[in-house]
Amino acid sequence: MGLRPLLGDVALPSAARGAGTYTSGPVANAGMATDVLLTVHATASSGTPTLDVSLEESADGTTWTAITGSAITQLTAAGNKVAAANISKNLVRVTSTVGGTTPSVTYRAVLMILPN
């Protein structure tokens, strides 16, 4: 069995983000993927930050639901985390939340998609 091509996209480009919720646009279209790998790379942090990142899916691009088991382990400093998920709806996106005391986290989120 040979290797299948892997698709990738930078869902949230590297940027310093303060407290708040940040969401990417839709990344995969209908029939494109079932398996998705989320990678988060945080290069800097200040204050006392927490960073939570996970995946959401949607059938119509309007109503989004969390994908169970797709969240990374919370980051509280610079570092890397990976999570994998199986999607069943037409679209997938990344959602992230920066919290803590006067937080700032520089990070990016990348999706790798294994097409059907």
| Predicted local distance difference test score (pLDDT) of residue 33 | 65
| Predicted local distance difference test score (pLDDT) of residue 91 | 87
Domains of the chain listed by start with CATH number: 7-115 (2.60.120.660)
Contacts of residue 104, Cβ cutoff 8 Å, sequence gap at least 6: 16, 17, 18, 44, 45, 46, 47, 49, 98
Q: pLDDT tens per residue, the chain (116 residues)?
A: 677 777 788 999 999 999 999 999 988 665 566 788 999 999 999 999 999 999 999 988 899 999 999 999 999 999 999 999 988 888 899 999 999 999 999 999 999 887 76
Tell me the pTM: 0.90
| Predicted local distance difference test score (pLDDT) of residue 29 | 61
Q: If DSSP states are collapsed to H, E and C, what string results for the chain?
A: CCCCCCEEEEEEEEEEEECEEEECCCCCCCCCEEEEEEEEEEEEEEEEEEEEEEEEEECCCCCCEECCCCCCCCECCCEEEEEEEECCCCEEEEEEEEEEEEEEEEEEEEEEEEEC
| Predicted local distance difference test score (pLDDT) of residue 28 | 66
Find the Cα–Cα–Cα–Cα dihedral 81, 93, 14, 110, rounded to 10°: 50
Contacts of residue 68, Cβ cutoff 8 Å, sequence gap at least 6: none
